[in-house]
A and B are shown apart, each in its own frame.
Chain A
Amino acid sequence: MSEGIIYWLQQTLNALQLGSIYALIALGYTMVYGILTMINFAHGDVFMVGAFFCFLAAVYLGLPFVPTLLLTMLGAALVGVMIERLAYKPLRNAPRVSAIITALGVGIFLENFTLALAPYPKNIPALLANATWNMGGVSISSLQIIIILLSLGLMFVLDYVVYRTPVGIAMRAISWDKTYVPLMGVPLDLIISVTFAIGAGLAGAAGTMYGLAYPVIDPYMGIMVGWKAFISAVVGGIGNIRGAMIGAFILGGVEIMVAAFFPSTYRDFVAFTLLMLLIVIRPYGILGQPRTQKV
């Protein structure tokens, strides 16, 4: 293989890894927006809390990878449901801006609560043996493959749930108009809780995978990653699940490619400029439409 192809294969793998982590988080933003038309700005911090749950499970409980992942997802899901019940539900009929301010507040609370408990950055142990294969010059790490495949697997499961199961039909009905959802016999509050649980659980999974790929974690790690996932959701068309995944892989790709061509300090500036241009061209995002298809 030529040097060029090898180089690009390597970059594509990197982009896929970054994109899948963004995608898992972006799904939570887009699902909550879909059903409540609100941006859950605490969501990036739920991802951070997920990484800390991963740390607790791996270090204090000494659990191996799979139980750590499951426990992290469960813990994050509970945090997500609690946030909705305690902070957002009382504001469901308040102006959207109040809910958004509350979300920012919840995010700051989560960051500082974590900071109080963990003032110094933590190290996530290597839960998976990271084998690296050299294939014609491309070095493929097993960790990278696992992160990509696991994320894609979770996305397929989610896509199936949303588009093929009664719970998914109910979620999409709520995203259209929740007024008459109870008249179908559907428990509105339960479906909203399930949505938060799924979104937060996926963010927890992202926290684990991020922690494995970039093992030093701190209470502020969710801010920038959260913004990027949020932007992915908007680029894909906020409220649209498949859009969030596409947007995340575009963002992952753009970031890696920019880093390949420019000094590393240019990465976010060039990437965000490109994304803003994309939004100008497609204001509703790639798959978003004014009303016909949300969530």
Chain B
Amino acid sequence: MSASMAGIEDIQLEVRDLEVHYDGIRALHGVSFTVLKGEIVTLIGANGAGKTSILRAISGLMPYGGSVVFEGQSLKRISAHRIVGLGIAHVPEGRGIFGNLTVQENLRLATWQRADKGEIAADYDRVFAIFPRLLERQHQLGGTLSGGEQQMLAVGRALMSRGRLLLLDEPSMGLSPRLVQEIFRVVEDINRSGTTVLLVEQNANRALRIASRAYVLETGNITLSGTGRELLGDPRVKEAYLGG
């Protein structure tokens, strides 16, 4: 399925001409892409290409030029905490775990915007079913978790906020190959249960294999796009991102 063939009602996120500046230096030069309901879309690109900046703009963490429309609503003037309430969950680069809060408190904090307080208990069960390790460490401080456990907690928090769109910024960073595999499996499971995923990765090989569609970002511009499989087979992608 390609974006051009999709109906308006299928588009969950539409990013148009996104521009971002840091101290007057432009980091994104008009980036446009769409994410359809139920997809896993991946953004791949080298260090400094602008992947994190795109996610930060979508979440309202920084000002930008251009537009971001989520389920038909412009996010431009909406503050970051409200965007969470609208249905976007963001697992930030470096995980953003609160080291002075327990695992349980980290999870609880993410339910702040939820109106359906009655269903929160069921979501704890869901998170603990996906990551039994978090259940064992419920009362441990976030700062004392291993890197892998922190990544599980970061994903768990995003689930607790019940976003319909999940933004993941390099979830495999710093994890052992086994854990990387585990995280990618969980991302696929979450997607299958109905959550749309926008995945930023440097681990292009794995990301492209689970992605419905993908975009390649180079120094603030999208230079290639296609289905995950197309890009896996593309010689330019092979050379630059899949180690030749």
Contact = CB atoms under 8 A, between A and B. Distances in A.
Interface in B78-119: 79-81, 84-85, 90, 92, 96, 98-101, 105, 108-114
24 contacts: A169-B105, A169-B108, A172-B101, A172-B105, A173-B101, A175-B100, A179-B92, A180-B96, A182-B60, A182-B80, A183-B92, A183-B96, A184-B81, A184-B84, A184-B161, A185-B81, A185-B111, A185-B112, A185-B114, A186-B81, A291-B143, A292-B100, A292-B141, A294-B100
Interface residues of A, number: 22
A173 B110 CA distance: 11
A183 B55 CA distance: 11
A65 interface: no
A185 B101 contact: no
B101 A169 contact: yes
Interface string B49-81: 000000000011100000000000000000111
A177 interface: yes
A180 B161 CA distance: 14
Nearest to A189: B79
Contacts, number: 74
B79 A182 contact: yes
A292 B143 contact: yes
Interface of B: 59-61, 79-81, 84-85, 90, 92, 96, 98-101, 105, 108-114, 141, 143, 157, 161
A176 interface: yes
A59 interface: no
B96 A182 contact: no
Given A182-B79, A183-B59, A169 B96 contact: no
Nearest to A175: B100
A187 interface: yes
Nearest to A34: B100
A215 to B, nearest CB: 42
Contacts of B113: 185
Question: Is chain B's binding surface mostly helix, strand, loop or mixed?
Answer: loop
A293 interface: yes
Given A183-B84, A185-B85, A172 B79 contact: no
Contacts of B143: 291-292
Given A182-B79, A182-B84, A183-B92, A169 B109 contact: yes
A243 to B, nearest CB: 14
Given A182-B84, A183-B84, A183-B92, A177 B98 contact: yes
Nearest to A180: B96
A188 B157 CA distance: 18
B163 to A, nearest CB: 10
B109 A186 contact: yes
Interface string A181-199: 0111111100000000000
The 3 closest A-B pairs by CB, nearest first: A185-B113, A182-B80, A185-B84
